[in-house]
Amino acid sequence: MKTILRGGLFAAVAAAILTLSPFASASAMDDLSWFGNTGATSGPVKDTDYSGYWWWPTIPASNSNDQEVWGNRGVVYNMYKVTPPPKPEAPKPPKPDAPVKVERKVPIANSILFDFDSSVLKAEGQKEVNRVAGIMKANAGDTLTVEGHTCDKGSDAYNQGLGQRRADSVSSALKSQGVAANRLTSVSKGEKAPAVANDSEANRAKNRRVVLLFKIK
């Protein structure tokens, strides 16, 4: 008996609450989504549980008397497509560093020595010719001046000719190693530009020479 009374009392209270609430004037499929609204949203919000969007407009465009189903308030599914935000641009790769230009030093050749009154290339001189020819072939823009020199024995005119013969002898050896003739210039300095003073036989031997001067590009 007490259980029946309690049940009846509960039903009466529930009916009174429904009578006083907005549900009382809403039809079965009407817009009830506004009920319990806590504030308007600026746009549709993705539903976390369903494949749709919802929003709470501040002012309804219709359904003011709760006579239309849903109106412009509440849940709308599969009718609103949210434009995704633009993808951030991929970071641009850094510009490669400019190649560092390494300054090339001018090669230095050893003097090629000759016997007294001779323009015949000796074995030691041929080794230096081979080394210089390798540098020239590895650097196609280089040119070479071949200078012939003598000691002070003999006349100036004779030594001028001897110096030229020595320069020509080295130039011919370089050409035989594959160095183009247009990259070589042969000149004679005669006895006018000694490496050391002509005051001893040892020093005179040092002045009987060919000097190779590189010009690099």
Residue 65: band (very low, low, confident or very high) from pLDDT cuts 50, 70, 90: low
Model's pTM, two decimal places?
A: 0.56
Residue 207: what pLDDT?
Answer: 96
C-alpha distances in Å from residue 140, one per residue of 39, 130, 137, 182? 83, 16, 6, 12
Q: Which domains are delineated in the chain?
A: 29-82 (no CATH), 112-215 (3.30.1330.60)
Q: Over 60: is that where the pLDDT of 20 sits?
A: no
